[in-house]
Structure 1
Amino acid sequence: MSTLKRNHDIEHWDAEDVAAWEAGGKDVAKRNLIWSVFAEHIGFSVWSIWSVMVLFMPQDKFGIDPAGKFFLVAMPTLVGAFLRIPYTVATARFGGRNWTIFSAILLLVPLLLTLYFVNQPGTSYTTFLVVAAFAGVGGGNFASSMTNINAFYPQRLKGWALGMNAGGGNIGVPVIQLLGLLVLATLGGEYASVICAIYLVLVGVTAVGAALYMDNLTNQKADLSYMVKALRVPQSYAIAFLYIGTFGSFIGYSFAFGQILQISFKAGGDTAAQAAVHAASIAFIGPLFGSLARPYGGKLADRIGGSRVTLFTFFAMMAAALVVVFASTQADANNGVASGAVMTILTAGFIALFILSGFGNGAVTKIIPSVFDAKSKSLRGTPAEQASWSQNTSGALIGFVGAIGALGGVGINLALRTSYATTNSATAAFVIFMGFYVLCALVTWAVFLRRPRSTSLVSGSDVVVEAEHLVLEAESTASSAKSSAR
C-alpha cells in the first residue's frame, strides 16, 4: 500500500486495497486518526473559547449587554468559516502531518491574546472583537483535519472515520465549557486566565504528538482546482445547504446556549455570578451529547445511506425546535421568567437539538464521498484514476461545506442577537430555526431521495442511491476478503 520514509512521508497510499488495508494499512490510518482527532479537539476548544469567556464578563463590570455578547461570540465563527477554504488545501500542499503541527502552534496566538485581555474590564469592545476574531484559527482546523482523514480511509468506512474525527473534535466545545464551569465554581470569575494557561500546554502536546506520530500522504491532492471541479457538481450546493442545518446548528447553539441559559437564570432572580455558574453547569451537556452522536450518524449512514438518515434527522429537529419554541413562549407569557418546569423543557429541547445536529452532521458528511464516488464511475479513465478524482474532489468539498456550515453558526448568533435586541426574547429566532429545518428536509428529499425521470447517474438523486449501493458492495467485498485472510 505504501512506502514509509524516515521523514514520515507515505507514497502510493491506496486505502481501497483491501488486502493491504488488512495487512497494516488500517493501523497507519488509525494512528493518524487518533492524533487528528486530538488536534481538531484542541482547535475546537480554542475556537469556542469566547463562548466561555463571556460568562466571566458581567455586564456591570465590562459594559457588554447580551446582544453585544452574541455578536462577540459570532466573530470567531465568522473568521473560522472563511479560514476553512484555505485550510482545506493546506494538507495536500504541505502534508497532513506538517500542517497539523503548524496549525496547532498557530493556536498560541489567540490563547496569548485572550490571556492578556480577558481580565481587563477597561478594554474597548472593538479590541475584544479583534481578539475574539483570532480564535477563528481554531475553526479552520476542522477542514484540514477532515480532508486529511478522508484520504486515509476507504469509501466503505468514510462515514465512521469522518464522523469519529469530527465528533472527537466537536467534543472540544463541551470540554472547555466544563473547564470554565470548574474554574467558575472553584476559583471564581476573576480566573478566566487559568483556562488559557491550561490550553497553552495542550497546544504544545498537540504539536509534539503530531510531529511524532502523524504522516504526510504525498499522493494527496486537494488544491483549489479540485474545489472548482467539486462545485461544478450540482449536488455540492445542496450538501452545503444541509450542512448549515446540521453543523451550523451545532456550532451556533454551542456558542449561544450558555448565554441563553445565563439570561434565563438572571431573569429568574439569580445574581450575575450565580447565573454564570448555573449556566456553565448545564451548557456543556448539549455539545457533549451532540459530539458523541456524530460518529453514530456516520456509522448508520454507512449502513443505510446518508440521505435517508439526514431526512429522518431534520424531521426530528423540527419536533425538538417546536419544544424549544413552546418553552420560550411560556417564559415570554411570564415576563421572561422561566419556571422550573419551563426551564427543564427548554433545556431538554436544546439538548435534543444538539444530539440530532451531531447525528445528522455525520450523515451529511457521508453524502459527500458517496456523491463523488458515484460521479467518478461516469468519467473516463482507469479505476485508480476514478478513485483519485473521487478522493480529491470530495476532500476539497469538505472545506467548502464546512465553511458554509460554520456561517450557519454565525447566522444563529446574529438571529438571537436581533431577537433579544428587538423583542427581549429569543422566541422569534427559534421559530425561524424551526422553519429552516423544514426547508432542509425538503431539499434532502428533492435532491437526494426523490426519483427523477432520468436514470442518468450524472444527474438527479440517483447519484446518492447508486453511491450507497456501491458502498454496500465494497463493504461486502471487504468482509469476504477479511474472511478469506483468516
Structure 2
Amino acid sequence: MTRWIAQWHPDDPAFWQTTGKTVARRNLLFSILAEHLGFTVWTLWSIVAAKLGSYSFSTDQLFWLVALPNLVGSALRIPYTFGPARFGGRNFTVVSALLLLVPAVLLGVAVSDPGTPYWLFLVIAATAGVGGGNFASSMANITYFYPRDRQGSALGLNAAGGNIGVSSVQLVLPLVIGAFGLAWAGWFWVPLIVVAAACAWLFMDNLSVARARPREQLAVAGNAQTWIMSLLYVGTFGSFIGYSTAFPLLAKSLFPGAPWQAVAFAGPLLGSLIRPLGGWLSDRLGGARVTLWNFALMAVGVALVGAATTSGNFWMFFLTFQLLFLTAGVGNGSTYRMIPAIFLALAGPDRVEEGKRQASAAVGIISAVGAFGGFLVNRGFGMSFAATGSPATALLTFAAFYVACFAITWWCYVRTAGAPRLAEARV
C-alpha cells in the first residue's frame, strides 16, 4: 500500500481548516512517536556507560562510548534529510524506525557476555547513531505539512516529542536494568520500535509536493545562512544532547555517592518540554531576538555549573545544570524557528515553495552540524578529565563559545543595518 497526497496547500486558510489541519496533526503525532524512540536508542549509552563498572574502563573510555552515537548520528542526519523528499515521509519513517532494531538487539547481546571487548562496545555504540538521524528526516517532513505561521509551534512540538526520548531512557533504563539486568537496556525497546514502525505505515502520508532531487537540496550548502545557523545550532541542540548524554557519567564521576540515577532524567525532560516555548516565543518576538538573549543565559549557566562542581554539593550541581537544560531547550526552539523564516525571506513572496524546499534541505545540514556538538561536549569532558581530572577546562571552553554565538546572532540577524531583509521578516 502506498499513500501519496498530490495536492497540499497548508497556507490556504480554507484548505487548512477543512482538510490540512487534521492530516497534519495525524502525521505529526506518529512522527513524534517514531522520533521519540529514535532519541531513546540514540542516547541509550548515556546510562549504559555509567553501568559498565564491571568492565573496568577509564572515565575517558566511557565518555567515548557516550560520544560515538552523537558523532554517527550527526553524520547520518544529512542523508536522512533527503529521505522523505526522495522516498516519501511515511515510507522513510517506517524504514528509519525499523533500523533502530539493530543497535537495540546488538546491545542486548553484547552486555550478556562479560568477555565483550572494548572495541566491540565502540562499534555497537556507533550503531546507535541511527537514532540520531531520525530527527532530521522527521523535521524535514513535518515542515511541509504546516503553514508558515504555525511552523514554529509544530516543529517545536515535533522536536520536543523526540527530545523527551532522552529523558525517557534516563528515567526508565535504571529501573529496567535494576529489575531485569543490563541486557534489557536493549531488549526493552524492541517491541516499541515495531509498534512505531507499524503505526507510521498505517497512519502517515507521503506528500508529492515535498519531492525534490538531492542535488537540488544540496544547493543550500552554498548558502552562508546554512552554515551560520549550523554554528548556532551547535550551541543550542549540540548543548542539549551533549549535556543530556554527559550528565549521568559526569555526575557519577564528580559525586560518586550521589543519587544521580533518580534525577538524571529531569534535565532532558525540562529541556524537551520547554522547547515548544522557544518556538512559540519566536513566532511572536522573532527567533533571532530570543536566540540572542538565550545564549547570554547559557554563558551564565555554564559559569554557575563550574562553581557548583567544586562546591562538593551535588544538589547545587544538579540545580545549576537545570539552567543549562532550560536554556538549551528554549534555544532549540528559537533557532529551529529561524530556519524556515530565513529561507522564505531570502526566496521572497513569489517563490514560497522554493523557499520551503530550501528550508527543508537546510534542516538536514544544520541539524547534522548541530548534533555534532553533542560529540564535542562529551569529548570535551572526556579530554578535560584525562588531562586535569576535572571538567573545568571544558566548561570554560563552552562559555567562550556561547559568547561567540551571542555576537554572531546579533551581527547577522538582530542589527537591522547588517541584515535588513532578514530583519524586516523578523527572523
TM-score range, shorter chain: over 0.9
Contact 2:83 2:92 in 1 (8 A): yes
Contact 1:53 1:118 in 2 (8 A): no
Deviations 1:461-485 (A, max 9, x none): 223322238xxxxxxxxxxxxxxxx
**What amino acid does structure 1 have at the position aligned with 2:243?**
Y
Aligned pair partner of 1:99 in 80, 86, 92: 92
Q: Distance in 2 between matches of 1:228 and 1:199?
A: 34
Deviations 1:200-231 (A, max 9, x none): 01101101110111000012134432333323
Matches within 5 A, 1:78-477: 78-184=71-177, 186-187=178-179, 191-266=181-256, 270=257, 278-328=259-309, 330-331=310-311, 338=312, 342-377=313-348, 383=350, 386-452=351-417, 460-468=418-426
Counterpart for residue 35 of structure 2:
40
Contact 2:415 2:423 in 1 (8 A): no
Larger radius of gyration: 1
Q: Distance in 2 between matches of 1:300 and 1:209?
A: 32
Q: Distance in 1 between matches of 2:217 and 2:81?
A: 9
Aligned pair partner of 2:13 in 11, 14, 18: 18
TM-score (norm 2): 0.97
Deviations 1:317-374 (A, max 9, x none): 111111011112x34xxxxxx2xxx322211111110111011110000110001111
Q: Secondary structure at the match of 1:468?
A: coil
Deviations 1:255-276 (A, max 9, x none): 100001111222xxx3xxxx6x
Pair 1:220–1:280, CA change in 2 (3 A): same
**What amino acid does structure 1 have at the position aligned with 2:395?**
F
Contact 1:35 1:210 in 2 (8 A): yes
Deviations 1:140-185 (A, max 9, x none): 000000000001111101111111101110000010111122135x
Give 5+ residue unaligned stretches, structure 1: 1-5, 332-337, 453-459, 470-486
Contact 1:222 1:393 in 2 (8 A): no
Query: Displacement of 1:126 after TM fit?
Result: 0.6
Give 5+ residue unaligned stretches, structure 2: none
Q: Secondary structure at the match of 2:209?
A: coil
Q: Distance in 2 between matches of 1:425 and 1:134?
A: 29
Contact 1:46 1:111 in 2 (8 A): yes
Query: Displacement of 1:127 after TM fit?
Result: 0.5
Query: Displacement of 1:23 after TM fit?
Result: 1.1
TM-score (norm 1): 0.86
Q: Give the aligned CA root-mean-square deviation in angstroms.
A: 1.4
Q: Distance in 1 between matches of 2:129 and 2:218?
A: 24
**What amino acid does structure 1 have at the position aligned with 2:416?**
R
**What amino acid does structure 1 have at the position aligned with 2:210?**
Q
Q: Distance in 2 between matches of 1:466 and 1:28?
A: 32
List, as ranges, runs of 4+ consecutive aligned residues in structure 1 with deviation greater than 6 Å: none
Q: Distance in 2 between matches of 1:222 and 1:282?
A: 44
Residue 17 of structure 2 corresponds to residue 9 of structure 1: no
Q: Distance in 1 between matches of 2:151 and 2:212?
A: 17
**What amino acid does structure 1 have at the position aligned with 2:345?**
A
Q: Distance in 1 between matches of 2:332 and 2:126?
A: 25
Contact 2:107 2:185 in 1 (8 A): no
Q: Secondary structure at the match of 1:356?
A: helix
Q: How many residues align?
A: 427
- The sequence identity of aligned pairs, in percent, is 43
